Chain A
Amino acid sequence: MGSQGGWGQSKEFLDLVKSIGEARSKAEEDRIVLREIETLKRRIAEPDVPRRKMKEYIIRLVYVEMLGHDASFGYIHAVKMTHDDSVFLKRTGYLAVTIFLNEDHDLIILIVNTIQKDLRSDNYLVVCAALTAVCKLINEETIPAVLPQVVELLGHPKEAVRKKAVMALHRFYQRAPTSVSHLLSNFRKKLCDNDPGVMGATLCPLFDLISADASSYKDLVVSFVNILKQVAERRLPKTYDYHQMPAPFIQVKLLKILALLGSGDKQVSGHMYTVLADIFRKCETSSNIGNAVLYEAICCASSIYPNSKILDAAVETTSNFLKSDNHNLKYMGIDALGRLIKISPDIAEEHQLAVIDCLEDAITIDDSSPKVPRVTVDTVEGNESPSMTTKVLSLGKEEEDPDDTLKRKTFELLYKMTKSSNVEVIVDRMIGYMISIIDNHYKTEIASRCVELAEQFAPSNQWFIQTMNKVFEHAGELVNPKLAHNLMRLIAEGFGEDDEGADSQLRSSAVRIPDGFICRNSDQIPSAFMQASFDGSQLHGLSTNVRLRIVHFLVNVICWVLGEYGTADGKYSVSYIIGKLCDVAEAHINDDTVKAYAMTGIMKICAFEIAAGRKVEMLSECQTLIDELSDSHSTDLQQRAYELQALLSLDNRTIENVMPSDASCEDIEVDKNLSFLNFYVQKSIEKGAQPYLPESERSGMSNVDNFKNPYQHENSGQSLRFEAYELPKPPPPTSIPFVSSSSRVTDIIPVSEQVHSREIHQNPPTSGADALALEVKLRLDGVQKKWGRPTYSSVPAASATVSKENGVTHSDEATNANSQTRDFPYNHRRQQVEVSAEKQRLAASLFGSSSKSDKKAPSSHRPARGGHVNSERPPATALLLSEPPKEKTSASVPPPPDLLDFSDPLPSSATSEDPFKQLEGLVDTTIAPLSGNAPTPDIIPLYGGTPSINSATQANIRNASAAASGVVTIKKGPNAQDALEKDAVARQVGVQPTQNNPNLFRDLLG
């Protein structure tokens, strides 16, 4: 061991290394290292350690840290060692600090001075060591301290030092470009250095500079070409040859630079053709490094302004790469092909076979990879000579071996090659490959590429849905949840103008998706038991007999589809689907989102059934589920359950309006200006009310006089309360995207708590009505505010117990109701502001990424539907928000006579400064067409509260709002108003068609 110990290691260190090498387990190794650390700690702290010993300790520290243990106790000693006079110790010290410390470490300050001194040293080895340390340890602040010396060293007689000085300057440039901006001309100068090594080193910073700004270095093209020519013609000294190649690393670098400079510049590119042709012609193809240069030449040829001769040469070289048996060269060939097809796509066809070879390789391996024996491993190991001479790849057997890198590269190429003509094949293969790999990182990438290609080139709807299903199946947890929404949207919207028949066909096929997924916990079950009933003649067969993994949000999609369209074509019975949905909910005991989807699905089906005039008898399991969810810890689930129950008790006309079938894509307009309140505001002002002041103008007032300016007071109170309430469930949109309540399709959109958290920051809207409204009735604020939320549960009870004899039951509810009146305007107000912001955000997230073209004819299709909604089935919930201007007048005029029983207080209420009479009016008018004409006993009690006493107490107002929401939510449960709002927001945002539809539609339509 003496020969190896030449560098001064002691027996001790050798023993340490040996024992670690022989350690049988990680634990044993750790034990040894920890013992070593203890020893070092003790020894190193001893006074008067001989410096040679100290040097060895430092090396041992480096070793320990390489093994992943903390050696920070010894850093200071390494720093001290850099101060040593002995060159050798100094070098060791520098080595240690460059490994130990990062540029912002506190100890650096102790080294800067030493570095400065050493940069001026006569011994060039010291200077080199210092330069190494400079590169690693000098940060932006300390650059000025050493910069002059480094620049000086550019003229050092030793070329090794000049080289390193150039590198150090380069490092400075990387770290803080401004600090050396005045010195960049030095790089140009050093390009003409006598020593080719220094010139080669200069290429590194120039490469960086040129990638940042190619235009200002165009003048250097001729020089670069000349250098490259000289190098290629072997004008450099023999010492720069490597494996018979003249300075290949310099050639590679130069080619990279030329590629940058010549990109898209015909004139500059003209200079390069000769030398490129030379390289293609002369370059050695037998050695690895020769191929490296050739590959770089191909990259350059594909990057500069194309020249047919050069391209031909490049293509030929590429095909040689592809034909090679060496996987490395194949890999380079695939990569080169990917670059070349950007210039002329036809090239790919010439090399189809080679690519397919790589692909076939990949695919056959997918099927047989477990069977491929790894015999070669042993034989190769056995033949390996103990000395580490280059190992030659055993080329013979590689065709059978899986090469993941090659596969990935090939799929990357395919991805670039995809056109609408080959998309089916390529995506199919991609999915096949995706299924076969385990690596989640790459799986995600492939999945998103599949989706991207599918969206871009999908030849048919069926294919698209099928593809998406497959992707969800196998990588559902990895792909962006956005995709689920896209899919739902797609199913819901259909494909533009096509007749509904095509849409419904599509939907039917979508309904078949669920087959396998329903049977959760039983991956083994073939899961086809639903298939028979769902099997439509024209439906595309989906991969139902595959053993399906349950993917979280695919289940959500399924629930949604089942709910929305499950009964649409009447092939399967209602109870059947409801049963399935119940199964889903039961299977996902711990997943509130899925349960929420299932519950909403049930609700929709029930609603459609009732609306169609059929009777829905509740299955017992469904009833159990509802009961269970009514007591759920999740307020969202609770609300859904209560909504369902409420819905069941409504009559069919109402339901038809609340839950129109297949209307998930209808527009809901919002009047953000609250213009329908103008009339009321004017009236109030005429009566002497104060005009509304924007918040900025009233600043400070809230502190002075809370009572007089209750608006702000309340606002802060509200913010507090909401924060406290919402924080425990922060909304990561990916994990719980669908927390929103919904009466219908709201589940398309991740509304969720973000609404609340964000609205805290919203400025109060500038509606005079609100301010006035609040002024009237904020007497009891201080007390009630805190209790606002908890009282929600009792409010629906209030509305439920309100009898026809108005006002009788109000007194005992007064306090609760009072607190909620304040919520009401607040929520209401918020909606106006929130909706727009939220809408934009969601619209962006839903359409932003994939939008390239509009739907072909949205104009004729959309408005028709929208008009339909406006005229015939305005969802009651949305109307609070979205009173279109034309209805403003109707809101302000006294309600029609048929509403008399509700609205007799209206005229008087207007005089009694009740701000909500207007809203009440809105509610009434909107309800009128729904239920007013044929009120059923179920509904009347709900509205009973509305026509309240003339004095227009807060309770009265509360009832108005409760009644409004009562259409959807009755009895106890989460705040009805909240539900309304969420629902409305959800509809707003989710269903709003934008101009930006995924461009897949264009293809689909075409």
Chain B
Amino acid sequence: MIRAVMVMNTQGKPRLVRFYEFQPPEKQKELIRSVYGALSSRADNVSSFVQADKIFGQDTRLVYKHLATLYFVFVFDSSENELAMLDLIQVFVETLDRCFKNVCELDLVFNFSKLHSILDEIIFAGHVLETSSEQVMKAIEEIARLEKTANPISIVAKSVSGRLGR
């Protein structure tokens, strides 16, 4: 299964972190740092696979993609295929690209919660759920529509509840 998904920039700042097995915040921080350490020392045109057993324990590896200022990192164990994971990153990035039209780091920074929603559509409980960015987009758009329609409702609800509160 997939253990974790990380997006960080080339300075090691996390942009999106998702662990599919619970890790306390301090541990997360440490893991992010060690992953960054492992990646930053790699040259640009070497293979995208790194044995991660030192960081995440026995039999884990990570696949990463270095795009512009960002590292996209997927950590997984032996039940997944490295090349397939590399393509899953591709799916994720393609989806982001569709979503934000020429996605860049700033998009990720400012659309933090949307990022999580997209990721949830692609990976579910550590397993690949959907690999078609089109399908993912559909789901996301549906959620976005929901928000728009939710807005007036929530305003009403808020005023009502506010009155009730008083």
Contact = CB atoms under 8 A, between A and B. Distances in A.
Contacts of B88: 249
B84 A14 contact: no
Contacts of A728: none
A128 to B, nearest CB: 9
Contacts of A21: 13, 109
A390 B26 CA distance: 33
Interface string B130-151: 1110110001001110110010
B65 interface: yes
A171 interface: yes
Interface string B101-145: 011101101111110110010001101111110110001001110
A125 B110 CA distance: 24
A111 to B, nearest CB: 15
Contacts of A91: 117, 143
A69 B47 CA distance: 33
A125 B47 contact: no
B113 A86 contact: no
A331 B47 contact: yes
Contact of A376 (B25, B44, B124, B130): B44
Contacts of B42: 404
Contact of B109 (A17, A67, A89, A92): A17
A87 B146 contact: yes
A8 B147 contact: yes
- Tell which of A7, A242, A249, A388 has the most Cβ of chain B within 10 Å: A388
A68 B25 contact: yes
A51 B165 CA distance: 13
B8 to A, nearest CB: 10
Given A288-B87, A291-B83, A68 B112 contact: no
Interface string A42-69: 0000011011100000010011011111
A558 interface: no
Given A86-B153, A204-B127, A7 B111 contact: yes
Given A291-B83, A332-B82, A135 B125 contact: yes
A71 B53 CA distance: 29
A588 interface: no
A109 interface: no
Interface stretch (A95-103, A474-482, A560-568, A918-926): A95-103
B49 A405 contact: yes
Interface stretch (A395-403, A742-750, A932-940, A964-972): A395-403
B43 A88 contact: no
A176 interface: no
Contacts of B155: 52
A576 B153 CA distance: 94
B81 A377 contact: no
B139 A252 contact: no
B158 A289 contact: no
A355 interface: no
A932 B112 CA distance: 90
Interface string B45-88: 11111110110000000000111101000000001011110111
Contacts of B49: 328, 331, 405
Contacts of B157: 51, 85-86
B87 A292 contact: yes
A321 to B, nearest CB: 10
Contacts of A92: 113
Nearest to A5: B110
Interface string B9-45: 0000110111000100110110010000000001111
Contact of B48 (A17, A88, A328): A328
Nearest to A70: B25
Contact of A135 (B44, B103, B124, B131): B124
B151 to A, nearest CB: 8
- Tell which of A66, A385, A441 has the most Cβ of chain B within 10 Å: A66
A323 interface: no
A197 interface: yes
A9 B110 contact: yes
Interface stretch (A161-169, A732-740, A833-841): A161-169
Given A51-B158, A59-B112, A327 B47 contact: yes
Contact of B104 (A67, A243, A387, A408): A387
Q: Is the interface of B mostly helix, strand, loop or mixed?
A: helix
A86 to B, nearest CB: 5
A89 B154 contact: yes
A389 B99 CA distance: 13
A1001 B99 CA distance: 66
A14 B79 CA distance: 39
Given A50-B158, A386-B104, A289 B87 contact: yes
Contacts of B90: 288, 390
A69 B25 contact: yes
Nearest to A132: B120
Contacts of B65: 391
Contact of A404 (B46, B125, B132, B161): B46
Interface string A985-996: 000000000000
A703 interface: no
B154 A51 contact: yes
A994 to B, nearest CB: 31
A592 interface: no
A391 B90 CA distance: 10
A394 B67 contact: no
Contacts of B109: 17-18, 21
A198 to B, nearest CB: 11
Contact of A332 (B45, B83, B162): B83
A1 B129 CA distance: 31
Nearest to B19: A99
A442 interface: yes
B128 to A, nearest CB: 5
A122 interface: no
Given A50-B158, A249-B131, A295-B83, A386 B147 contact: no
A886 interface: no
Contacts of A288: 83, 86-87, 90
Contacts of A9: 110, 112
A154 interface: no
A132 B100 CA distance: 25
Given A4-B111, A21-B109, A62-B112, A374 B84 contact: no
A342 B72 CA distance: 34
A67 B84 contact: no
A263 B97 CA distance: 42
Interface in A318-369: 326-328, 330-332
A256 B79 CA distance: 8
A74 to B, nearest CB: 13
A167 B125 contact: yes
Given A135-B125, A388-B103, A207 B110 contact: no
A714 interface: no
B83 A328 contact: yes
Given A62-B112, A204-B127, A388 B45 contact: no
A249 B79 CA distance: 12
B93 A442 contact: no
Given A7-B114, A406-B47, A242 B154 contact: no
Given A4-B110, A292-B87, 9 more contacts: A7-B147, A50-B162, A62-B116, A164-B129, A248-B84, A384-B67, A386-B68, A388-B103, A391-B65
Interface of B: 1, 13-14, 16-18, 22, 25-26, 28-29, 32, 42-51, 53-54, 65-68, 70, 79, 81-84, 86-88, 90-91, 93, 96-97, 100, 102-104, 106-107, 109-114, 116-117, 120, 124-125, 127-132, 134-135, 139, 142-144, 146-147, 150, 153-155, 157-158, 161-162, 165
23 contacts: A4-B100, A4-B107, A7-B113, A21-B109, A66-B16, A68-B25, A85-B157, A95-B113, A101-B22, A135-B125, A167-B129, A204-B1, A292-B81, A295-B83, A328-B83, A387-B97, A388-B70, A401-B46, A403-B43, A405-B46, A405-B51, A406-B47, A439-B54
